[in-house]
């Protein structure tokens, strides 16, 4: 079997088709990424980390299977994150196993000891992960909110004020966004996960500089603590211009000293009002939460989110060292 390396460029049509066909079988909702966003995700990941993409060419320019191995370079440098997909009409012929063997060899070459992969529950991916000897680490549940109904207006606790922006983080907010990003350390993570050390420079380099690659529209709402000027809470929603009916929830976090003022619900309600103006075609927002993240889930349920489709399992496999 011949594997080829995919290099960032405009042509990811074959890989995208295999991904779309796989999603239709494994989990049809929410919809798969558009070609443009998928190509950006292959090229840059969501966080600009180093990565390799390898694929198996099929007939007539099609792609039978591919994997993307992300190699964290700042923290978590002993692990690699793996997405591995075989097109439905090429399955059960050993292609997935071959791609996995290759990915593990590449992970070993990069001195990684573990690979973390993701599979939808009750799909072929879950059976495949078990057959490969992987162990389950974490479960994330997808929830979807229909935004076409009415929501109460945001009412912010005294001592805080709301502000918003579209697109990259404005320079004057970089430091404060870094402070809120660090609050994600409380979300459920795989064992041994090292939290990113967020700084203004990192927000610039690993978000602002990477983000244009995807072609997504980003909308952010923050609650500022008036006395200190710090951001106490932040929420971001992304919209794919090629699929404007769906929004994708990015970060929502409230930093610890400011919890207990309903700031999570408040920034999300303010976001809904903002989206009504800026994204008139928006119908739904999808979010994924660790199944044990009870506070975030309670906020989402209060805002009408319902579970959508199967959960996502995170699977760990040790990298054989030669």
Interface residues with ligand COA (CB under 6 A) are: 22, 26, 84-86, 91-97, 117, 119, 123-125, 127-129, 131, 315
> Whole-number minimum distance, CB 57 to ligand COA, in Å?
15
Distance of CA 138 to CAs 66, 85, 117, 187, Å? 24, 20, 11, 11
Quick check: 68 and 106 in contact, CB under 8 A?
A: no
DSSP code for 145:
E
- Name the minimum Å distance from CB 132 to ligand COA: 7
Question: Tokens standing for 147?
Answer: 């935004």
Distance of closest approach, residue 76 Cβ to ligand COA, in angstroms: 18
Instruction: List CB contacts of 273: < 8 A, sequence separation 6 or more.
Output: 151, 153, 154
Nearer to ligand COA, 134 or 180 (CB): 134
Closer residue to ligand COA, CB minimum distance, 65 or 179: 65
CB of 231 to ligand COA, least distance (A): 36
94 vs 304, beta carbon nearer ligand COA: 94
CA distance 287 to 216: 16
Contact assessment for residue 83 and residue 17, using Cβ atoms and an 8 Å cutoff: no
How close are the terminal C-alpha atoms of the chain, in Å? 22
Q: Which residue is nearest to ligand COA (CB)?
A: 125
- Compare residues 92 and 149 and give the one whose CB is closer to ligand COA: 92
Q: Are the C-beta atoms of 177 and 204 separated by less than 8 Å?
A: no
Name the residue nearer to ligand COA (CB basis): 127 or 161. 127
CB of 28 to ligand COA, least distance (A): 13
């Amino acid at each position: 079997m011949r594997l080829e390396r995919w290099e960032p460029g405009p042509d990811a049509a074959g890989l995208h088709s295999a991904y779309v066909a796989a999603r239709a079988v494994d989990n049809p909702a929410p919809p798969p990424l558009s070609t443009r966003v998928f190509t950006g995700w292959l090229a840059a990941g969501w966080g600009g980390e180093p990565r390799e993409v390898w694929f198996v060419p099929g007939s007539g320019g099609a792609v039978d299977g591919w994997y993307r191995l992300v190699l964290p370079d700042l923290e978590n440098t002993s692990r690699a994150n793996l997405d591995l997909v075989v097109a439905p009409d090429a399955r059960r012929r050993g292609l997935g196993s071959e791609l996995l063997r290759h990915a593990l060899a590449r992970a070993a070459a990069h001195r990684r000891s573990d690979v973390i992969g993701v599979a939808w529950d009750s799909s072929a991916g879950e059976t495949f992960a078990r057959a490969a000897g992987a162990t389950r680490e974490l479960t994330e549940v997808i929830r979807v909110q229909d935004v076409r109904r009415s929501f109460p207006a945001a009412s912010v606790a005294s001592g805080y004020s709301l502000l918003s922006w579209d697109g990259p983080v404005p320079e004057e907010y970089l430091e404060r966004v870094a402070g809120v990003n660090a609050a994600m350390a409380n979300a459920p993570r795989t064992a041994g996960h090292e939290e990113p050390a967020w700084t203004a420079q990192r927000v610039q380099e690993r978000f602002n500089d990477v983000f244009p690659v995807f072609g997504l529209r980003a909308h952010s709402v923050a609650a500022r603590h008036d006395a200190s000027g710090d951001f106490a809470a932040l929420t971001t929603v992304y919209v794919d211009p090629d699929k404007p009916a769906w929004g994708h929830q990015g970060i929502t976090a409230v930093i610890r000293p400011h919890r207990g003022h309903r700031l999570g619900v408040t920034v999300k309600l303010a976001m809904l009002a903002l989206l009504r103006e800026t994204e008139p075609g928006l119908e739904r927002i999808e979010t994924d939460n660790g199944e044990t993240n009870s506070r975030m889930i309670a906020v989402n349920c209060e805002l009408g989110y319902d579970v959508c489709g199967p959960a996502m399992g995170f699977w760990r496999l040790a990298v054989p060292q030669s």
